[in-house]
C-alpha cells in the first residue's frame, strides 16, 4: 500500500524505469553494461516505492497517551523554550526519519486542531540545531482534555522538498490517522508540557501510530 502523495512520483518512476530498460536493450550491445543499467534503474524504482509505502497501522486509541507521529529514531529529549506558539518552556521529543523510514505523519493524539501554520525555509540537514527554526516546516497544535495543548513540527531535511500538512484549525482529529507527509528525509518534533512522563529513551527506534511517546 502506497501513500497518495507518492502516486505521481511512482507513476513517473515506473515510466522512467521502463524507458531506461528498453533503451538499454535497444542501444547497448554489451550485455554486462546493459544489465547493470537496468538493475540500477530498478533499484531506484524500489527505493521510491519503499519511501512512499504506507503500512496499515492499528492504533489503540487512548486520550492519556501521546503516540509516535512518525517512524524513526528518537534523537532529542530535552526541555527547551518554544518561541513560536507557547513562548515558554516545553519538553521536546524529536524523531529523525532516514530516507528508508515510512514518512507518513500521524496524529499523536485525538482532539482538536487549534493552530496550523506553514513556514518556507532552508533545507539544512534535519539534525542541524537550527533546522527547527530555519528549514521549511509546519507548526501544528493539538488540544485535548488530558494533555491540554501539544505542538508538533514537521521539519524538512536536506533531501526534502515538500511538506504536506492536512491539519486545519478547528478540525476534529483521531489519534493515529493521517496528518500529512514529508517527502525525502525529515524530522518531527513534539512539544509537551514540562513534567510529562516520557516512555522512550534516546536512540530508541519508534513506529508511528504504534509506540507510546508519553503519558499522563
Dihedral sign (CA 170, 87, 155, 109): negative
Phi, psi of 119 (to 5 degrees): -125, 115
DSSP string computed for 62-88: -TTEEE-SSSEEEEEEEEEEETTTT-E
Strand 88-97 versus strand 72-82 pairing type:
antiparallel
- The C-alpha atoms of residue 50 and residue 9 are separated, in whole angstroms, by 12
User: Do residues 45 and 70 touch, judged by C-beta distance below 8 A?
Assistant: no
Q: Is 13 a catalytic residue?
A: no
Q: Which of 13, 94, 110, 186 is catalytic?
A: 186
Burial degree of 216 (CB within 10 A; 0-12, 13-18, 19+): middle
- The C-alpha atoms of residue 18 and residue 87 are separated, in whole angstroms, by 52
- The C-alpha atoms of residue 146 and residue 127 are separated, in whole angstroms, by 30
- Give the C-alpha distances (Å, rounded to integers) separating 99 from 48, 157, 180: 10, 10, 16
Task: Give the residue numbers marked as catalytic.
Answer: 186
Amino acid at each position: 500500500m502506497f501513500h497518495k502523495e507518492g502516486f505521481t512520483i511512482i507513476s513517473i518512476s515506473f515510466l522512467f524505469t521502463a524507458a531506461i530498460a528498453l533503451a538499454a536493450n535497444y542501444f547497448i550491445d554489451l550485455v554486462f553494461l546493459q544489465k547493470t543499467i537496468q538493475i540500477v534503474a530498478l533499484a531506484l524504482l524500489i527505493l521510491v516505492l519503499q519511501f512512499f509505502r504506507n503500512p496499515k497501522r492499528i492504533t489503540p486509541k487512548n486520550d492519556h497517551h501521546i503516540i509516535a507521529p512518525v517512524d524513526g529514531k528518537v534523537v532529542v529529549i530535552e526541555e527547551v523554550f518554544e518561541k513560536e506558539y507557547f513562548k515558554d518552556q516545553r519538553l521536546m521529543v524529536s524523531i529523525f526519519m532516514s530516507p528508508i523510514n515510512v514518512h507518513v505523519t500521524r496524529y499523536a493524539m485525538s482532539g482538536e486542531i487549534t493552530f496550523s501554520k506553514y513556514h518556507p525555509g532552508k533545507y539544512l540537514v534535519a539534525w542541524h540545531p537550527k533546522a527547527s527554526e530555519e528549514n521549511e516546516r509546519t507548526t501544528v497544535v493539538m488540544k485535548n482534555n488530558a494533555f491540554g495543548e501539544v505542538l508538533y513540527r514537521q521539519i524538512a531535511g536536506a533531501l526534502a522538498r515538500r511538506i504536506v500538512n492536512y491539519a486545519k484549525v478547528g478540525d476534529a482529529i483521531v489519534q493515529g490517522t493521517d496528518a500529512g507527509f514529508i517527502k525525502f528525509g525529515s524530522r518531527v518534533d513534539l512539544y509537551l508540557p514540562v513534567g510529562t512522563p516520557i516512555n522512550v529513551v534516546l536512540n530508541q527506534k519508534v513506529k508511528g501510530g504504534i509506540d507510546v511517546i508519553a503519558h499522563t
